[in-house]
Structure 1
Amino acid sequence: MTVHSLPSWLVWQQRPFPDANLLLLPGRHAAMVDSGFVGHAPETAAWVMARTRRLDLVVNTHWHSDHVGGNALLQSLGAGIVASVVDADALQRRDAGCCVSEYLDQPVPQYSVDRRVSDGQVLRLGEADWEVIRTPGHTPGHLALWQPEERLLVVGDALSDYDVGWVNLALDGVEASRTALESLERLADLSARVLLPSHGPLPEDAGAALAAAIRRAQRLVDDPAGAVWYGARRVFAYALMIRGGIPVDDVETYLLDRDWLLDGARLLNCDADDFAGDLVAAMLRAGSVVHRDGRLHAAAEHTPVTSESIDVPLPRAWPAVAHHQ
């Protein structure tokens, strides 16, 4: 499957980390799915406005920083934010867990949800109707979008052509892996023609990609310790990406200050110091992180961000806002 197989009323762009891919649906009800990382919010907004005179909606598949980072800017330009009921309710509480921003040490600028959506609701996006499909697992509020006429399936972080979304067993419980697997099985039942993932290219074969994702998700169910390691590697690599690396001498201190690292050590029944050291050593052996210029860097392709662009208040410091329906 290639980008050229997409309908003409849809604009899609693959982007490297720390951003999510862009999906724009121009038309009478102009909308986009997710908004990328805050460090590239101006570039995201410029890309959108170059392709549509206005943007009515931003639909978030879930509230992680690489999916909602452009929300605030696009909302200030007139777009309404659409999110799952689960994410909208938690966002309204403005607690320390909002967007998992503080827990993961990933910046998210303040935004509010204008419309809450539930499983089975239909949204008019661009020139087509899309059905909301609840797909918890990667996060409790994760959702997918299904366009039945063209058999297009927006999968968010449920899967990509090379991976499945990591699961947070510490915050979401040991059943999170099973929940993610069940969501993938539900998506497979739709027999999509094209999968639109948030990361990586369009899978060439939608059915094969879903089948592979189901096998990967089953491994997370069967191996909870492996699921903890998988999540830790993903979160730490992302931290290195958005910070331009971390000085080698500061890596241990950084990790031991992170709640996700401490929770991982608890779930693995090991000392946090040992887990931090083993994590770095394992990622160095795998080539997923590298030493360069006295810093530890993520090896995966990613676009740099400035330190100023990620200097935003934590969600617990956001002022309360009126609840939107």
Structure 2
Amino acid sequence: MPFDTDRLPSWLVWQQRPFPDANLLLLPGRQPALVDSGFVGHAEETASWVRAHTASLSLVVNTHWHCDHVGGNALLQRNGAGIAASARDALAVARRDPGCCQMEYLDQPVPPYSVDELLDDGQVLLLGDTEWEVIRTPGHTPGHLALWHPDERLLAVGDALSDYDVGWVNLALDGPDATTTALDSVHHLIDLDPRVLLPAHGPIPADTGAALANAARRAQRLVDDPDGAVWYGARRVFAYALMIRDGIPTDAVEPYLHARAWLKDAAWLLRRSPESLATDLITTMLTAGSIVSRNGKLHAAAEHTPVPPSSLRQPPPSTWPAVDAAHLP
């Protein structure tokens, strides 16, 4: 049974979006705010959707810095919105660190942006006409945040969990305890006893308690099976790569994978060669039906929206324009 949208307050606007975008949560009012901004290839659509629901936008709050959550930041910032993000993400963006947004590591495009407001655990934000509490939820990324509205018991969870899964965890970049950190974050969210979960991907769960219990089980499995956690991340990153590129020619897929830093790290953690891991990754995902071969290309099987190829051509963070004093966190 799908979620009954009548359970949502009238003062928020929600849009579920297929990959490669994150869902949109808009809080119109005194300080119109948007939670996450989607993929760069659909930034104009995001901006148009925002304009259809509010005359202005004061703030974009990023749950974390992956490309499907910050891709509209640059356009919305040029249009006058400020950007708020976790202190960890904000400082790296201000320094223009090469690792910003894991853009080069994951081979996922992000246009240059700056962060205007640093967020930390327990901070209270006025979003629209209502106050939301910032909740640190590291795991999927170290700087991941959730947003909590205690009066209505609404919880915007980003990629910490969804109706069908939990966020993948990067053991290579974030260390062997990253899965335990992610599990702790899930339990922290459970302890809040939310009435409604607002995930960044997929539908709003109809049964909040069941979704949280399922997320706890899935997160525990990642702790119990580190190799499985690595495989899970590799499958998710590869499927996303296929989505944003409208597939990759079959004869180019393995060379593409061999050149990826994330695959090399996964191979090291799994005590494999990158070449053998790439071959097995393709074979197992074809067998499972999560990718398909069609017209000489491999494609992701999950529903996704086409991306203009030109949007993939974004400069690396180390070459982004320097942050001026007005945008220093």
| TM-score by shorter chain over 0.5 | yes
How many angstroms apart in 2 are the aligned matches of 1:90 and 1:179? 21
How many angstroms apart in 2 are the aligned matches of 1:125 and 1:96? 31
How many angstroms apart in 2 are the aligned matches of 1:122 and 1:180? 23
How many angstroms apart in 1 are the aligned matches of 2:312 and 2:286? 26
- The CA deviation string for residues 91-139 of structure 1, in whole angstroms up to 9 with x for no partner, is 1221221100000000000000000010000000001000000000000
Q: Which amino acid aligns with 1:324?
A: L
- The CA deviation string for residues 269-314 of structure 1, in whole angstroms up to 9 with x for no partner, is 0111100000000000000000001000000000001101221111
Cα drift, residue 72 of structure 1: 0.2
Q: Which runs of 5+ in 2 are unaligned?
A: none
Q: Which amino acid aligns with 1:286?
A: A
Alignment correspondent of 1:136? 138
1:127 pairs with 2:123: no
- RMSD of aligned C-alpha atoms? 0.7
Q: Which amino acid aligns with 2:206?
A: E
How many angstroms apart in 2 are the aligned matches of 1:96 and 1:240? 23
Alignment correspondent of 1:154? 156
How many angstroms apart in 2 are the aligned matches of 1:229 and 1:321? 37
Identity over the aligned pairs, expressed in percent?
A: 71
- Which of these residues, 2, 5, 8, is aligned with residue 10 of structure 2? 8
1:223 pairs with 2:220: no
Alignment correspondent of 2:256? 254
Structure 1 residue ranges (4+ consecutive) displaced by more than 6 angstroms after TM superposition: none
How many angstroms apart in 2 are the aligned matches of 1:239 and 1:228? 17
Q: Which amino acid aligns with 2:153?
A: R
Q: Which runs of 5+ in 1 are unaligned?
A: none
Count of aligned positions: 325
Map residues 54-73 of structure 1 onto 2, 5 A cutoff: 54-73=56-75
- Which of these residues, 145, 148, 151, is aligned with residue 147 of structure 2? 145
Q: Which amino acid aligns with 1:187?
A: L
- In the superposition, the TM-score normalised over structure 2's length comes to 0.98
Alignment correspondent of 1:167? 169
- The CA deviation string for residues 27-52 of structure 1, in whole angstroms up to 9 with x for no partner, is 01100100000000000000001110
Alignment correspondent of 1:236? 238
- The CA deviation string for residues 131-168 of structure 1, in whole angstroms up to 9 with x for no partner, is 00000000000000000010000000000000000000
- Asked if structure 1 preserves the Cα contact closer than 8 Å seen for 2:96 and 2:317, the reply is yes
- Structure 1 counterpart SS, 2:228: helix
- In the superposition, the TM-score normalised over structure 1's length comes to 0.99
How many angstroms apart in 1 are the aligned matches of 2:68 and 2:207? 25
Cα drift, residue 90 of structure 1: 1.4
- Which of these residues, 43, 46, 51, is aligned with residue 45 of structure 2? 43
How many angstroms apart in 1 are the aligned matches of 2:44 and 2:231? 34
